[in-house]
Structure formats: C-alpha cells, structure tokens
Amino acid sequence: MQSENEGYLLKALKAFLPEETVKSCSRFGNGHINDTYLVTCTEGAPRYILQRINQDVFQNIDALNHNVERVTEFLHDKITAQGGDPNRETVVLIPTKDGRKHYFDEQGECWRLTLYIEDSVCYDQVEKPEDFYQSGKAFGQFQGMLADFPADELVETIPDFHDTPKRFQALMRAVETDRMGYVSAVRDELDFVRRREADTHAAMDMLKRGELPLRVTHNDTKLNNIMFDEKDGRVLCVVDLDTIMPGLSIFDFGDSIRFGANTGAEDEQDLSKVSLSLELFEYYVRGFLDGCGGSLTKAELQMLPMGAKLMTLECGIRFLTDYLEGSVYFKTAYPEHNLVRARSQFALVADMERKWDEMQKIVEKYVPEL
C-alpha cells in the first residue's frame, strides 16, 4: 500500500480488512472535519471509505457511534425488506474483525470503514432548480424511511442544538455580559429578535405538548451530503450521518430553505440582495413531500413554513450571540463577520414574513387537505 502516513493508516485498516487485500489508501473528498480516505483493494474486491473521526469536533464519540450504527442498521433492514439495494441506498458500515462497527487505535483515535458506493456522484452547489428538488426529495426520503424509527433511542450529541428558546436566552445573557462592549451598536438587531421571542417557542412548545413528533434529524442538509446515481441521476442515499440526532422534521426542512432558497449569500453585506426565492422554496417543498411519501403529520406539514423561519431566525441569533461574545465559535474572516451574517439572516426572516401567505399557499398546493 502506498499512501501518506502509510503505517498509521495500515494499522487502522488491519482492524477491518486482511492486510494483503489493500492496494492503496489516498485522501478523498473535500470535507473539513473528518480525515477521509478512499481504499482500493485487490482486483474484484470492493472499494471502501476509511474515516478518522475528529474528536475535537465530535466530543461525545460513543454517542455519535451509537446513533450512526443504530440508524444504518435500521435502514439496511428496511431497504432489504422492501427489495432495494442496501449497498447503494444507505451507508454500510464494515465491521472490524471482532464485530464492532468502529475501531479505536492505540492513540485513542476513532476509525470507521464504509462501503464505497460505486457509480455515484455528489454535487457541491445547486446549479439549477431541479437540483434543489432532488435535494428535498433525498432528505424527504430520509425522513420517510426513518418515520417509524424510535427517535428517543438516539442520543442528543449536541445538547439543545435546535432549542430556539435556549438560543434566545443565550443571546440575552450575552447582552447582559456585553463582554466586547458591542451591545450599544446592535440595538436594532436586538429589537428585531425581541419582537419575535414568541416565535422562538413555537416548535419546542408543540413538541412538549406532543403536537409534533420526535423524529430522526440529519442536521446537515446540504446538497453535497446526497449521493446520486451517476448513470440515471436518481437519488441514492443521504450520507455524512455524524450529526444525526433526535429532533423535529421541520428543522431539517427549514435549514435547507434557509441556506438553499436564499437569493443572497449567508454573509451578504448588501441586504437588498437577500430574499426568499419562492421558486426554489416550491421546488424544495415538492421534492421533500415527494420523498416523505405521506409520512408527516398534518401538524408537521402546517409547520413547514415556520420551520424555515425558525431555523433562519435561530441561525441569526447564534451569529449575533457569537459576535457579542467575541466570535469564539464560528470562524470569521473579519471582526464584523458574525454581525454581517446575523443581519443577512434577519433580512431573510423579514422577507419570509412578507411572503408568508405565498409560502403557506405553496405547501397547501401539494397538500390540499390542509
């Protein structure tokens, strides 16, 4: 085997594969968190993806492994029962020689090996509206396949990740502390958030009352986390499952809209360029509902527009909080970067509010019973 850090990687691979089958192991993809390698074996053997999980980012590694392993096993069994091909339609974890689905080396590094999906492709950006439809369909299918998974058996690896009321409270604490002395300069932004405090409670209150069901959520609903069949272009599966947690379906839907249906960049300084594309919103709604296959409740369907607004508002709150605390969480390119991001998110929230009736009518168009 010829590769960088040959001995380091070979030790990890030996936990999963007979040494003589491995021909090469080379860097793969453009991910920024885990170290990812493509493993090529002897002729006739499948190829694999080897990953070293970044424990600086994912500190509850046991919970992460538990979630990924439970969900992939469930999907494998369901796809098989439905006559599908689990080797192409979900992530397949390769067990170690002692039967575990992950491996800790002598340095405490955590590794996993998955089957490489041949003749597949992923895309980094939405280049045409149909791409956004396909993205919605993929994450809708993910929801549909896992609709009967007991989500309360998963661990919340990032506590209170989408608990919007707690995000609001964190912002208020940052205002009280005013560590950087910035509060006086962001009065307009703080007023914008305070006027929408009731909105921050909308989803979590419904969850507590049992009006929204707890679901498996992906929490990183980007286009490049979807694998497509290279030959016919159909959606194969959702990958990059490290952020899987229990949550609400409208979180995944809303975050996709927040990022993908925005006519401006996440850190756009010219707020006149920031708006919700109703065209892209409709493409995603149609794809998401096609993928879900009727698995969502009436309350979830009615809350889809609110999911988009909530995730955008929450993201803006997080950017503003980090700005007031000295930008210690999000990476920034300049001192006001997080403030610029917050303003962009709030501008998008305001545009959603202006287009609220249209957003609801689009959902109703595909769910007439609402």
Instruction: Residue 149: count other Cβ atoms within 10 Å of its Cβ.
Output: 17
Edge-to-edge strand order for the sheet containing 120-121? Answer: 120-121, 226-229, 235-238
pLDDT reading at 231 higher than 50: yes
Length of the chain: 370
Task: Give the confidence band of 5 by pLDDT, cuts at 50, 70, 90.
Answer: low
Residues of the chain with CATH 3.90.1200.10: 129-366
Buried b / exposed e over 303-341, threshold 16 CB at 10 Å, is bbbbbbbbbbbbbbbbbbbbbbbebeeeebeeebbbbbb
The whole-number pLDDT of residue 3 equals: 44
Task: Give 145's pLDDT tier (boundaries 50, 70, 90).
Answer: very high
Burial of 181 (0-12, 13-18, 19+ CB in 10 A): exposed
Lowest-pLDDT range of 305-314, 347-356, 361-370: 361-370
Domain with CATH 3.30.200.20 in the chain: 6-118
Please state which CATH number belongs to domain 6-118: 3.30.200.20
Pick the CATH number of 129-366 from 3.40.50.12160, 3.20.20.70, 3.90.1200.10, 2.90.10.10: 3.90.1200.10
What is the mean predicted confidence (pLDDT) over 22-40?
A: 86
Q: Stretch 172-184: mean pLDDT, rounded?
A: 97
The amino acid present at 74, given as its one-letter code, is F
Whether pTM > 0.85 for this model: the answer is yes
Q: Which amino acid is at 113?
A: L
Do the Cβ atoms of 250 and 310 come closer than 8 Å? Answer: yes
Q: What is the mean pLDDT of residues 332-353?
A: 97
- Mean pLDDT value of segment 329-357: 97
At 271-315, the pLDDT tens digits run 999 999 999 999 999 999 999 999 999 999 999 999 999 999 999
pLDDT over 70, % of the chain:
98
Counting residues of the chain whose pLDDT is more than 90, the rounded percentage is 81
Quick one: pLDDT at residue 361? 97
pLDDT category, 176, cuts 50, 70, 90?
A: very high
Residue 57 DSSP class: T
Task: Write the DSSP assignment of 129-151 as a string of letters.
Answer: HHHHHHHHHHHHHHHHHTTTS-G
Residues 320, 327: Cα–Cα separation, whole Å = 9
Provide the CA 315 distance to its chain's centre, in angstroms.
13
pLDDT on residue 242: 94
State the distance between the two ends of the chain, measured CA to CA, in whole angstroms.
59
pLDDT exceeds 80 at position 1:
no
Spatial CB neighbours of 272, under 8 Å, sequence gap ≥ 6:
none
Question: Tell me, what amino acid is at 128?
Answer: K
Closest CA to 223 of 125, 130, 120: 125
Please tell me the predicted confidence (pLDDT) of residue 159: 87
Average the pLDDT over 246-269 and give the result: 95
> In sequence order, which residues have a C-beta less than 8 Å from that of residue 350 and are 6 or more positions away?
192
With beta carbons less than 8 A apart as the criterion, state whether 348 and 315 touch: no
Rounded CA gap, 273 and 262, in Å?
A: 9
Asked whether the beta carbons of 190 and 224 are under 8 A apart, the reply is no
Answer yes or no: are the C-beta atoms of 282 and 362 closer than 8 Å.
Answer: yes
As a whole number, the mean pLDDT across the chain is 93
pLDDT at 2: 44
Q: Where does the chain show beta strands of DSSP type E?
A: 22-27, 35-41, 48-53, 103-104, 110-115, 120-121, 215-217, 226-229, 235-238, 245-247
